[in-house]
Structure formats: C-alpha cells, structure tokens
Amino acid sequence: MSDLINTSKPVLPPTLARFVAATAGRNMTKPAYVAVLTGVATMILLTVNPAYEAAHHWVEAVLWTCLAFFAFEWVVRIRHAVLAQRAFAYLISFRGVMDAAAVLAVPVAILLGAQPQTAWLLSVIWLIKVLPAVPGLRQLRRVLVLESGPLLSVLMIFLIVLFLGSVAVYFLEHDAQPEAFRNIPSALWWAVVTLTTTGYGDVVPITPMGRLVAALVMISGLGVFGLWTGILATGFAAETRRDNFLKTWESVSKVPFFATLGPAAIADVTHMLRTIDLPPRVVIMRKGQQGDCMYFIASGEVEVDLPMGKKVRLSEGAFFGEMALLGNNLRSANITTTRLSKLLVLDLVDFRLLMARHPDLASTIDAEAKRRALENK
C-alpha cells in the first residue's frame, strides 16, 4: 500500500527539479537575469510611441510573460519558506518584499485605474531583484556601517556649508537678481549645484561678494567630496585586507604543518603569508633559479622533477622551496602544478622572522630539508 502511495506522487523531470531548487535558493538564476533584462528593455520600448503602436500586442505579451515568470519565482520561494517553517521571515525580508513588489505592483496599478502604458513603468522594480546578487554590495554595506561616523561628520559639514552659502548668497544677490534669488529655497538650489561642483550655469552670482562666496562654496565642495572619497577608499582597503586575512587564515588552518599553533600564532603566520591560486601545468620554480620564498600547499597538488628523472608529487599540507632558503639559495628542482592549486607563499624575510619566533617550526622545516637533501643525492 505504501509503495502505491509513493508511486502516486508527482515527480518533476530532473531538469525542472534542478531549476525549481535553484529558484528557491539565494542566488539569481540565469533565466531570472534574462527575464529582468528582457522585461526592462521591453518597458523602455513601451515608451517609444511608434514602436509601441506598431507592435503593442507583442510588447505587452513579453511583459506579461516576464511578470508570470516572477510570479512563478515568488510562489516557489514562498513554498520553500513554508516547508522550512520560515515563511514570515521570508515575507518581511528585503528579498521577500522585492519579490512581492515585482509581481503585484503592475497588476495593482492597473486595477486602480492606471493606463497599462503607465502601469508597466513600475516594472523598473524588477531591476532591484538583481541587487542581492551583486557581490560587492555586501562589502559596500559593511564599509558604510563601519565608517558611518566619519561619513555623517562630513555630511554635517556639507549641510552647514550648504545653508551658510545659500543664506549668504541670498543676502548678497537678492537685490541685484530678485528673480534668480527670490527666496532661500532658490538660493539652496544654487548652493547644491555649486557645492557639488556641477555648475549648471542657470543661476550665477554677479556681485563681487557673491562671487567670492561662490568660490568658497566650490572649494568647500571639493574638500567635502575629497573627504568622502578618502573615507570610503580607506574603508574599502581595510575591508579588502580583512577579507584576504580571513581567507588566508582559513587556508593556513587547513595546513597540517601549522596544526600545532595556537590562534595567536596562526594570526601571526597569516600576516606573513600571501595566497596565490594557480591553474594546472604552471611551472612554479625552475632548477637553478634564485630562491627567495617557500610554499605551503593549502589545496591541490604539485609535481617535483628530481634528478635522475625521479618525480614526486606533493599534495595538500606539504611544503616546498625551503631548501633554497636554508642553504644554497638556488632551486634544486623543477616544480609544476598538476591541478588547480592554492599555495601560501612565505618570503625570505618573513621566513627568517617565522623561524626566530617559532623554533619548533624551524626544526621541523630543517629536518624535512635534510631528509629531502639525502633523497636527492
């Protein structure tokens, strides 16, 4: 009886099942990107009257098809959230709200009496669905949060200069140009245009003191935006270093050679190492070259071409290149990657510093170098 029940359940074709699983996931699928681009491009075509009048049935058919696809996405994600017992969390999340808006905005506008050509302009919301898939936005959000204090301080300077400049130019220019500077809001428009160094030229001071104020406002604008740029650049650089540190830490912790180190020592080592990713069949070092660094294999595999035609393969956790740093500074073998490999590089100066700080690591590397030297004879 149970077998009969199991066989009666509808089974999706494998391709459709994979597509539904990908749609329920956090990442945008390729069809979703196509639907967004097609829908937005068609919405733009909707505003070109000759093209819309010539093919309005096709234009609306494409838009309704894109809307149907987003509705399918929304239903799949709601079902997945219900099965995972997190439906409410999904519905109030940014992604859930955007999915709902992408599906409901246009139909609701049409039901409220908007013209279809006007209602379909709301399909621009579909572009926002792409935002969570942009990889750099998470880093930007973290930078904005961490640097919110300095950024807000510069914003306060911006607003103070904005209001001081607008009041000053209103006082100095109102009598000379009553139409251009008829009130403070008009002067504020001039101050925004000037402070941002846009300079439309629709309103300009003509009195000597007014021009002096304008010059000060323009110079202040350069300083304010220079400060904002510097704060964001510094924040991005610090965040990039942090990400690289965490990636290197993860790679270092996987290398058995460093397994005996404590967290503080691993952090010390992580600062010294740099990570490189190499594809297969890349020559890392050649025999007779000057040696100025050693390598640890975080993942992947390399092949060592020893004398007498002997070949040895080193895999994850092994290290090489240390012999040129301990004795003769010339490389003693050719080494090539056999598959995609992640290597941790320790330069000569940092190698000596590491050996001085961690004598136990120094003895391990020295013993391994002596063993390999005997094998190579």
Q: In this structure, is residue 249 part of a structural domain?
A: no
Same domain, 97 and 27: yes
Span 181-195, average pLDDT: 90
Q: In this structure, is residue 139 part of a structural domain?
A: no
pLDDT digit string, tens, across residues 106-144: 999 999 988 888 899 999 999 888 887 777 777 888 888
Same domain, 271 and 369: yes
Q: Count up the domains in the chain and report the number.
A: 3
Q: In this structure, is residue 116 part of a structural domain?
A: yes
pLDDT higher than threshold 70 for residue 5: no
Q: In this structure, is residue 1 part of a structural domain?
A: no
Same domain, 126 and 154: no
- Give the closest residue to 246 by CA, choosing from 273, 286, 284: 273
Same domain, 15 and 124: yes
Q: In this structure, is residue 356 part of a structural domain?
A: yes
Same domain, 266 and 353: yes
Give 8-41 as a 3 state SS string: CCCCCCHHHHHHHHHHHCCCCCHHHHHHHHHHHH
Which has the minimum average pLDDT: 64-78, 184-198, 303-317?
303-317
pLDDT digit string, tens, across residues 251-269: 777 776 676 677 777 777 7
Range of the domain at 297: 256-376
Mean pLDDT, the chain, integer: 83
Task: Choose between 13 and 95: higher pLDDT.
Answer: 95
CATH of the domain at 305: 2.60.120.10
Residues 6+ apart with CB under 8 A from 224: 154, 157, 158, 161, 195
Q: What is the pTM (predicted TM-score) of this model?
A: 0.64
SS3 275: strand
Same domain, 261 and 354: yes
pLDDT digit string, tens, across residues 76-114: 888 888 888 888 888 888 888 888 999 999 999 999 988
Q: 77: part of which helix (H) or strand (E)?
A: helix 56-83
Measured distance CA(27)–CA(47) in Å, rounded: 31
Measured distance CA(246)–CA(231) in Å, rounded: 22
Q: How many CA atoms does the CB half-sphere of 374 hold within 13 Å?
A: 5
Q: In this structure, is residue 193 part of a structural domain?
A: yes
- Give the closest residue to 58 by CA, choosing from 130, 79, 66, 95: 66
Per-residue model confidence (pLDDT) at position 365: 74
Other Cβ atoms less than 10 A from the Cβ of 304: the count is: 20
Same domain, 358 and 261: yes
pLDDT digit string, tens, across residues 38-64: 999 998 888 888 877 778 788 889 999
Q: Which band of pLDDT confidence, cut at 50, 70 and 90, is reported for residue 11?
A: low
Span 315-332, average pLDDT: 76
CATH of the domain at 191: 1.10.287.70
| Strands (E) located in 236-280 | 274-278
